[in-house]
Structure 1
Amino acid sequence: MTSALTLPKGGSLTSFVPDDDPLPGQLDRWLGARGADLIAVRRHIHAHPELSHQEFETAALVARELSAAGLQPKFLPRGNGVMCDIGEGDRVIALRADLDALPLPDVKDVPYRSTVPNVTHACGHDVHTTVLLGVGLALAQLEAQGGIGGRVRLIFQPAEESISSGAPEMISAGALKDVAAIYALHCAPQLPVGLVGVRSGPFTAACDVVEVKLSGRGGHTARPHLTADLVYALGRVVTEVPALLGRRVDPRAGLSLVFGSIRAGEASNAIPNEGSAKGTIRVLNRDAWREAPELVTQLIRDVVAGTGANVDINYTRGVPPVINDRMAAAVVAGAAGAALGAERVVEAEVSMGGEDFAFYLEHIPGAMIRLGTGVPGSTEVLDIHQSRFDVDERAIGYGVRTMVHTALAALASPSF
């Protein structure tokens, strides 16, 4: 789908100047020497995006750079994901990034604009990948200089944006074997560059999809009593079911059902004999998420029952909620403060968006943080999943600093 990914000319990313300075000073020196190379990598990935399950060239680029640093990366069986351990010992801390892009056109007027029609990195995964690559290369140098106190596993995951998430595939391939805790970051255009957002507890919502198909006798709108009146029945479903959920679920669970599609008929004077509605269920509480399919399905059936329509419900599981572990969040908050300064660590807001990092947290403790990518002072917020989305590239350096400190702090922590 894309041309082969190769690093821009300018040298290896692996040079790390040995220094007796504390870690922040060492990272500052390394990023001062190699930060431009990392930005070039990000721009190259941005210009050559790959959709979910097709991240072969991006994975190959990551593996080549890790190999050049003396590491031994391993591909997923299909070759579109990478894992790599750094260091020695039984204690393992994992760091995860996602590789895939979105099926959106890139409308930005920039030199690194996507070269693939209708595909772009509109969610910042190119930044996530570049940050984790930089973290891996820096950790490899620290390990060579004296050890990092255990093992850090880099997880470059495919298909975060897909309903058929790549996270379970990584887990099946052994990504969490022996891992004590896992961390990740996500671009946050709402935060100015230089800030990171940390939060304990609910972080992002579970996201499922429900499709309701109704059928029944159609007919003339002058004689609705002789029909099942599917338009009326669909109207009841999309208005009453969300309202009923608000009375059947603890409001602290943050459960919502919002319909984004409703289709039925064409003519204004004819009642159709079939129609459908699709919506998303989002919820912040694990227990409420587990109970949602049965509850939502039953409420839909109850609402439709009195209309005379036949109903077929397709409830599709998406991702669980991201629930940040309390101790894991404390570790990353402290590490971010050490890396950037305590004044640059803020409380992250809860998002009702979905994130498949949640699958890892179903198995082990961990935390996701937000990496500020907004341009300070700008009145325009380029939100994720928009065709014009872009980042302040200084965020890459802040991300590398934060995640290197996090990995080392987690290895040393007795909390896991």
Structure 2
Amino acid sequence: MSNQRLQFEPLPNWVAEQVVSWRRHLHQHPELSFQEHNTAAFVEQTLREWEGLEITRPTATSVVAILKGALPGPTLALRADMDALPIQEENDFGFASEVPDVMHACGHDGHTAMLLAVARLLSERREELRGEIRFIFQHAEELPPGGAIELVNAGVVDGVDWVFGVHLASLLPVGQIGIREGEMMASPDNFTIVIKGFGGHAAYPHRSIDVIAIGAQLVGHLQTIVSRLTDPLERLVVSVTQFTAGSSHNVIPDSATLKGTVRSFKSSVRKEAPEQIKKMAEGVAAIYGASVEVDFVYGYEPVINDEWVTGMVREAAIEIVGAEAVIATPPAMGGEDFSAYQQHVPGAFVNIGAGNVESGIVYPHHHPKFTLDEDGLLNGIRLFLRVADKLLNQKQE
């Protein structure tokens, strides 16, 4: 059943300047996961400038604002993450990070600024609003176990009908919106392998159990988990990202440590991966008389977009940028703890284009020169507003 739609176009004059100002302030003052005390205080203080919002602090570094419309209707949660990364920024902007070795290199400053603007715009229209909106300003997306699961456990999505979130994407041109039903982002799991051998003089390797040689072979063997032990139609990544051993050019060390990540979508593939890694490590080590210890840590669940909700988001995106600018996003092997909400509530997570080759905005997320085309912030705001309007005014049959 459809009802009278709210109209937000054109956006009020204050929006463009204000959202950029908020984003740049947050960019200058980044905080790491679970340490977002000043960021959360800034968000809370800003939200308290507007009427009609019930503000709570579910955790020490998160903020939730609830807006109840004057008309009955469903409940929608909108989410923005707020944490930064342990990266030294290499940009020379006037608003570059003022915190050594900490940087907003993933666009969370933009996400927070966009949702602040959406909260203000919707609070000003609460007399026309149906249902309830929960604005979730989440901490610690970047560091497992993540902030989302803490907020879920705190009851933030209890009674919510749908949840929606966006991610500004520097590799997607500004003006485009990337959407995918179903498998959107993978589960990011981690492993650590410690190889224990017998050290000695590098001139006499036959008198040692060389953990570096064993580790080098194991790196190659681990790739066969993807190429030879997994159905080629399944999506799986096994990457060794750290190899640590030794302290001298003429000493074979006693131990070596390999660390890496496993990315997958299907639960059966995810369950088999640690068993295969352990078996592979033990087998290679045994050939040379070494031993291994394998530790596997499961990260976030995969982001699986609800088909109906994503269909509504697609309709909203087409209304904003046109069908030709709504891109079918391929599955990404990166992880996102937005999935914690989707374990309890049907939801969708999409990408907002914020790249611009002509302006040199081409660096990927988590790069020290990462930045955004700030025009993308306006499309993000428009999409939040249009999705909220569509979902609150049309209950799923």
TM-score (norm 2): 0.92
CA contact (8 A) 1:35 1:397 kept: yes
Residue aligned with 1:50, SS: coil
Q: 1:403 to 1:320 in 2, by over 3 A?
A: same
Letter paired with 1:131: M
Kindly provide the CA deviation profile for residues 21-78 of structure 1, in whole angstroms up to 9, marking residues without a partner as x.
9745x33242x33321121111111111111111122112222222221111111232
Alignment correspondent of 2:175: 194
Question: Is the counterpart of residue 307 in structure 1 residue 288 in structure 2?
Answer: yes
Letter paired with 1:356: D
Alignment correspondent of 2:215: 234
Question: What's the RMSD between the two structures over aligned residues?
Answer: 2.1
Q: 2:142 aligns with which of 161, 171, 174?
A: 161
Letter paired with 1:76: P
Matches for 1:238-387 after TM superposition, within 5 Å: 238-375=219-356, 377-378=358-359, 381-387=362-368
Matches for 1:69-88 after TM superposition, within 5 Å: 69-70=50-51, 71-78=53-60, 80-88=61-69
Q: 2:120 aligns with which of 137, 157, 166?
A: 137
Identity of aligned residues (%): 35
Structure 2, gaps ≥5 residues long: none
Q: 1:181 aligns with which of 144, 147, 162?
A: 162
TM-score (norm 1): 0.88
Structure 1, gaps ≥5 residues long: 1-20
Letter paired with 2:57: F
Residue aligned with 1:331, SS: helix
User: In 2, Cα distance between the equivalents of 1:305 and 1:413?
Assistant: 62
Alignment correspondent of 2:25: 44
CA contact (8 A) 2:200 2:208 kept: yes
What is the CA-CA distance between 1:269 and the residue it aligns to?
Answer: 4.8
User: In 1, Cα distance between the equivalents of 2:109 and 2:248?
Assistant: 47
Letter paired with 2:136: I
Alignment correspondent of 2:91: 108
User: In 2, Cα distance between the equivalents of 1:63 and 1:133?
Assistant: 10
CA contact (8 A) 2:115 2:381 kept: yes
User: In 2, Cα distance between the equivalents of 1:221 and 1:122?
Assistant: 42
CA contact (8 A) 2:361 2:371 kept: no
Q: 1:390 aligns with which of 358, 362, 371?
A: 371
What is the CA-CA distance between 1:168 and the residue it aligns to?
Answer: 1.0
What is the CA-CA distance between 1:384 and the residue it aligns to?
Answer: 1.4
Q: 1:153 to 1:311 in 2, by over 3 A?
A: same
CA contact (8 A) 2:5 2:389 kept: no
Q: 1:173 to 1:90 in 2, by over 3 A?
A: farther
Residue aligned with 1:150, SS: strand
CA contact (8 A) 2:55 2:64 kept: yes
- More relative contact order in 1 or in 2 (CA 8 Å, sep 6+)? 2
Residue aligned with 1:300, SS: helix
Alignment correspondent of 2:43: 62
What is the CA-CA distance between 1:272 and the residue it aligns to?
Answer: 2.1
User: In 2, Cα distance between the equivalents of 1:340 and 1:23?
Assistant: 18
User: In 1, Cα distance between the equivalents of 2:249 and 2:357?
Assistant: 51
User: In 2, Cα distance between the equivalents of 1:110 and 1:381?
Assistant: 16
CA contact (8 A) 1:340 1:402 kept: no
What is the CA-CA distance between 1:226 and the residue it aligns to?
Answer: 4.0
Residue aligned with 1:364, SS: coil
CA contact (8 A) 1:289 1:320 kept: no
CA contact (8 A) 1:187 1:372 kept: yes
Letter paired with 2:336: E
User: In 2, Cα distance between the equivalents of 1:380 and 1:58?
Assistant: 25
User: In 1, Cα distance between the equivalents of 2:164 and 2:196?
Assistant: 47
User: In 2, Cα distance between the equivalents of 1:207 and 1:22?
Assistant: 39
Alignment correspondent of 1:9: none
User: In 2, Cα distance between the equivalents of 1:247 and 1:112?
Assistant: 49
Q: 1:271 to 1:281 in 2, by over 3 A?
A: same
User: In 2, Cα distance between the equivalents of 1:382 and 1:287?
Assistant: 34
Q: 1:323 to 1:251 in 2, by over 3 A?
A: farther
Q: 1:192 to 1:379 in 2, by over 3 A?
A: same
